[in-house]
């Protein structure tokens, strides 16, 4: 999940679709995020590379929409509804997730166990189609 | 030999064979140095030369040991290795006083030696006085001689000469005070060798004066110079040169020693007490003198009673290792396997004892700590209670009965018995009972009462050993130090110099290291350059 500046970022991602929940005229998703390019990456407990300034899921409300959709704590969010989340400030990330006009957010998240699973499955049977998608993003764009 | 020998009471204590031969040798060395005092007293009898001071192991204070202290037993004298057998005798026979023997002749010789010892102490002072007088008198003589020898032909000189007279008189006064301050003070120590710089300066001064005299004699006395102004200027230049030589003396003898350039490590051989000091450029003997002054100030007093435990352990260790084969090898062939078993058993027993030694030490030390703490607690309580019985008299107490009012000495004597026992037991447990006599404790108590000290302040003197000077002069042994050095003692100390200062029971090992050359660099920081970033890690729930 680390990146080399100038090189495309490659990660194994999982698509997660979360339907927002109406709660007291707020639309909530049921998780908390941390990170951002304006934050201190060294304090992030979930990142492997302590210079990674991406957005991470820090907490999931049990029984909430995110939990039901399969989001897990420690996931790094790569895209939200097509918008990139790898190089955004904390506030921008929050805004993109809490747009009142959208009922559903489609996230692309990555986690370490995904890579392991893919590697194992690729190692055991090379031709098998895997459920996750590979995420390519050129940071120079 | 038919001789009469006189003992003083101290000799019983000094010859105790607690640390047998080593101590005996030392006491004989002391005999040589101090015998003269006694021999000069009586010409008709040879004395067994008692030491000037009682030994460390069994000192007595004013002849009275602490109450309850077991009186030291008389031990037989140890005549093991007697190097000076021809000079001393240990015969105790009651014979007539009229017999003269060979030893007395030797004793007379020692009397002369004693006088020279005293002479040597005042030699630097005498030399300083002579040179000082010469230095001060010479300019005056230079000025007076022409006025005495050819007064009629002298040209009178006016104000210029008077100015020069004034300056000569003040400079001579300053020189007099300076010489007194630097050279004519009583020496605080007697060093083994002459100080090189002092000798050099004395020679320089004498050389200077002699050369001036030479010039004076040739140019002025012989030629009978009439120009008095020139003569006065000549005398003034002499005084100036002498002042500059004195300045050189100040720099060489005093200032050089102050700037610290070496760090010395001083370690006592018996208990490993170590201190570090910074000293300047000194000769080895002067450095030894400084270190001894620091020793008397900083090191806790040497207590031989604390070392007996480790000696016992060492003795037991050695004893455990010896395996004797009592039976001769070939005597009884049948007993050979028995002997082998026996020796093997002894070896294993010795090995087991060695293994248990650390165990014993641990439990012994824990037990000792506990005992000391218990006694200390009792002592503190006893002293605090004793101090509550006494109070300084206030104005309103003047109506109290006169029998209750007492001066400080009586007050100290009154409250002393209640704490004496606890104090004595504590001192016995920490093995310091011989450092404090009853009278010294009472004196200290009176001092504390006069100065309104708390019981804790009174006790501090007894809870931890203080520097050597705090105790009586019999502990100082200031005349027993020997400097042992491989390099010449007048050479300067250098990096890596090592020497030994040996006293009677212990020695101080001194190592010298140079203070490193410190290179200090500077870095300029603009006050506006202190800027900070705020690092956040916020968590937002969506």
Is the pTM here over 0.90, yes or no? no
User: Per the CB < 8 Å rule, is B540 touching A90?
Assistant: yes
Chain A residues with beta carbon closer than 8 angstroms to that of B535: 39-40, 42-43
Q: Would you state the pLDDT for residue B341?
A: 61
Q: Would you state the pLDDT for residue B169?
A: 93
B37-51, B293-307, B428-442 — which is least confidently predicted?
A: B37-51
- Structure token pair of residue B432: 């310091």
Q: Would you state the pLDDT for residue B528?
A: 92
Q: Which residues of A110-138 are buried (b: 16+ CB within 10 A; e: fewer)?
A: bbeebeeebeeeeeeeeeeeeebeebebe
Residue A112 and residue A1: Cα distance in Å, rounded?
A: 8
Q: Closest Cα to residue B27, out of B11, B45, B4, B7?
A: B11
The number of C-beta contacts closer than 8 angstroms across A and B is 40
Residue B239 and residue B169: Cα distance in Å, rounded?
A: 10
Q: Is the pLDDT of residue A11 over 80?
A: yes
Chain B residues with beta carbon closer than 8 angstroms to that of A43: 535, 537
User: Per the CB < 8 Å rule, is B539 touching A34?
Assistant: yes
User: Per the CB < 8 Å rule, is B537 touching A31?
Assistant: no
Phi/psi region, residue B253 (left: phi>0; alpha: psi -120 to 50; beta: rest), is alpha
What digits encode the pLDDT tens for the residues B383-413?
999 999 888 877 776 776 667 778 889 889 9
**How close does chain B come to A73, measured CA to CA in Å?**
13
Neighbouring CB atoms inside 10 A of B489's CB total 17
User: Per the CB < 8 Å rule, is A34 touching B538?
Assistant: yes
User: Per the CB < 8 Å rule, is B541 touching A31?
Assistant: yes
The average pLDDT across B490-507 equals 91
Q: Is the pLDDT of residue B423 over 50?
A: yes
Nearest to B540 among A42, A61, A94 (CB): A94
- Residue numbers of B between 343 and 372 with CB closer than 8 Å to A: none
Residue B26 and residue B16: Cα distance in Å, rounded?
A: 12
Chain mean position to CA B508: 11
Q: For residue A71, what are the contacts with CB-CB under 8 A and spacing of at least 6?
A: A16, A18, A31, A57, A60, A107, A109
Candidates A38, A54, A62, A109: best to mutate against B (most CBs of B within 10 A) is: A38
Q: What percent of chain B has pLDDT over 90?
A: 32
What digits encode the pLDDT tens for the residues B108-140?
544 454 555 667 778 888 888 899 899 999 999
Q: Is the pLDDT of residue B516 over 70?
A: yes
Q: Is the pLDDT of residue B537 over 50?
A: yes
Nearest CA in chain A to B535: A40
The average pLDDT across B478-497 equals 89
Chain B residues with beta carbon closer than 8 angstroms to that of A40: 535-537
Q: Would you state the pLDDT for residue B242?
A: 93
Chain B residues with beta carbon closer than 8 angstroms to that of A39: 535-538
**How close does chain A come to B529, measured CA to CA in Å?**
22
Q: Which residue would you say has higher pLDDT here, B42 or B535?
A: B535
- Asked if residue A91 lies in contact with residue A67, where contact means CB atoms within 8 angstroms, the answer is no
Q: Would you state the pLDDT for residue B207?
A: 95
Nearest to A58 among B535, B536, B539 (CB): B539
Neighbouring CB atoms inside 10 A of A75's CB total 28
Chain A residues with beta carbon closer than 8 angstroms to that of B537: 34, 39-40, 43-44
Nearest CA in chain A to B538: A34
What digits encode the pLDDT tens for the residues B293-350?
999 999 988 888 878 777 777 787 777 666 666 776 554 444 444 455 666 766 676 6
**How close does chain A come to B537, measured CA to CA in Å?**
6
Chain B residues with beta carbon closer than 8 angstroms to that of A90: 536, 538, 540
Q: Would you state the pLDDT for residue A48?
A: 85
Q: Closest Cα to residue A31, out of A87, A81, A70?
A: A70
Q: Would you state the pLDDT for residue B269?
A: 92
- Asked if residue B34 lies in contact with residue B51, where contact means CB atoms within 8 angstroms, the answer is yes
**How close does chain B come to A119, measured CA to CA in Å?**
32
SS3 B225: coil
Task: Please provide the size of chain A in residues.
Answer: 141
- Structure token pair of residue B335: 């007993």
The average pLDDT across A62-77 equals 91
The average pLDDT across B362-391 equals 92
Q: Is the pLDDT of residue B43 over 50?
A: no
- Residue numbers of B between 523 and 542 with CB closer than 8 Å to A: 535-542
Strands (DSSP E) contained in B361-520 are 482-485, 498-502, 507-514
**How close does chain B come to A65, measured CA to CA in Å?**
11
B104-113, B252-261, B455-464, B517-526 — which is least confidently predicted?
A: B104-113
User: Which parts of B279-335 fold into alpha helices (H)?
Assistant: 284-298, 308-321
Contacts 24+ apart (CB under 8 A), B250-258: B250/B182, B252/B197, B252/B200, B252/B201, B253/B182, B253/B195, B253/B197, B253/B198, B253/B201, B254/B182, B256/B280, B256/B281, B256/B282, B257/B281, B257/B282, B257/B286
Q: Would you state the pLDDT for residue B225?
A: 79
Q: Is the pLDDT of residue B69 over 80?
A: no
B145-149, B185-189, B223-227, B481-485 — which is least confidently predicted?
A: B185-189
User: Per the CB < 8 Å rule, is B539 touching A59?
Assistant: yes
């Amino acid at each position: 999940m680390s990146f080399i500046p100038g090189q495309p970022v490659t990660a194994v991602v999982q698509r997660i679709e979360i339907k927002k929940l109406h709660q007291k005229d707020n639309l909530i998703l049921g998780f908390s995020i941390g990170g951002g390019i304006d934050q201190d990456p060294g304090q992030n407990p979930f990142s492997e590379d302590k210079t990674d300034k991406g957005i991470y899921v820090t907490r999931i409300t049990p029984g909430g929409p995110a939990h039901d959709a399969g989001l897990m704590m420690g996931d790094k969010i790569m895209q939200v509804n097509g918008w990139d989340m790898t190089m955004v400030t904390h506030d921008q990330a929050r805004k993109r997730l809490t747009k009142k006009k959208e009922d559903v957010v489609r996230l692309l998240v990555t986690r370490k166990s995904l890579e392991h699973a893919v590697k194992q499955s690729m190692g055991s049977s090379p031709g098998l189609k895997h459920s996750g998608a590979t995420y390519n993003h050129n940071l120079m764009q | 030999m038919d001789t009469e020998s006189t003992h003083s009471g101290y000799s019983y204590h000094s010859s105790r064979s607690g640390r047998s031969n080593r101590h005996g040798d030392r006491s004989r060395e002391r005999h040589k140095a101090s015998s003269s005092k006694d021999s000069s007293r009586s010409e008709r009898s040879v004395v067994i030369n008692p030491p000037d001071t009682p030994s460390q192991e069994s000192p007595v204070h004013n002849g009275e040991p602490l109450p309850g202290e077991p009186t030291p037993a008389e031990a037989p004298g140890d005549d093991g290795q007697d190097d000076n057998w021809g000079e001393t005798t240990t015969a105790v026979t009651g014979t007539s006083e009229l017999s003269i023997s060979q030893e007395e002749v030797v004793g007379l010789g020692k009397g002369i030696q004693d006088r020279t010892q005293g002479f040597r102490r005042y030699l630097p002072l005498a030399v300083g006085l002579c040179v000082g007088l010469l230095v001060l008198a010479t300019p005056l003589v230079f000025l007076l001689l022409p006025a005495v020898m050819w007064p009629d032909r002298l040209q009178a000189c006016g104000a210029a000469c008077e100015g020069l007279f004034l300056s000569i008189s003040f400079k001579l006064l300053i020189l007099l005070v300076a010489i007194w301050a630097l050279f004519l003070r009583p020496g605080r120590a007697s060093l083994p060798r002459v100080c090189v710089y002092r000798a050099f300066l004395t020679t320089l001064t004498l050389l200077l004066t002699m050369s001036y005299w030479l010039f004076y004699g040739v140019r002025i006395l012989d030629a009978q110079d009439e120009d008095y102004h020139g003569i006065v200027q000549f005398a003034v230049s002499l005084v100036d040169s002498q002042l500059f030589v004195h300045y050189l003396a100040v720099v060489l003898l005093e200032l050089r020693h102050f700037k610290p350039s070496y760090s010395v490590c001083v370690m006592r051989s018996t208990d490993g007490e170590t201190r570090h000091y910074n000293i300047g450029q000194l000769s080895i003997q002067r450095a030894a003198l400084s270190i001894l002054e620091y020793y008397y100030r900083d090191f806790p007093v040497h207590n031989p009673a604390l070392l007996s435990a480790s000696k016992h352990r060492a003795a037991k260790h050695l004893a455990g290792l010896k395996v004797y084969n009592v039976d001769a090898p070939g005597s009884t062939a049948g007993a050979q396997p028995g002997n082998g078993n026996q020796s093997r058993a002894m070896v294993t027993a010795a090995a087991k004892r060695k293994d248990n030694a650390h165990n014993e030490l641990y439990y012994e030390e824990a037990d000792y700590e506990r005992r000391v703490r218990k006694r200390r607690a009792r002592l503190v309580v006893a002293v605090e209670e004793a101090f509550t019985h006494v109070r300084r008299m206030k104005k309103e107490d003047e109506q109290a009965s006169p029998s209750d009012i007492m001066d400080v000495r009586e007050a100290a004597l009154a409250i002393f018995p209640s704490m004496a026992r606890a104090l004595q037991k504590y001192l016995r447990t920490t093995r310091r009972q011989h450092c404090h006599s009853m009278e010294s404790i009472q004196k200290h108590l009176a001092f504390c009462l006069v100065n309104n000290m708390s019981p804790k302040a009174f006790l501090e003197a007894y809870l931890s050993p203080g520097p050597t000077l705090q105790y009586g002069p019999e502990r100082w042994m200031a005349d027993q130090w020997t400097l042992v050095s491989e390099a010449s003692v007048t050479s300067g100390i250098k990096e890596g110099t090592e020497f030994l200062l040996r006293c009677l029971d212990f020695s101080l090992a001194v190592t010298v290291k140079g203070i490193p050359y410190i290179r200090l660099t500077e870095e300029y920081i603009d006050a506006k350059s202190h800027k900070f970033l705020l690092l956040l890690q916020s968590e937002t729930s969506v």
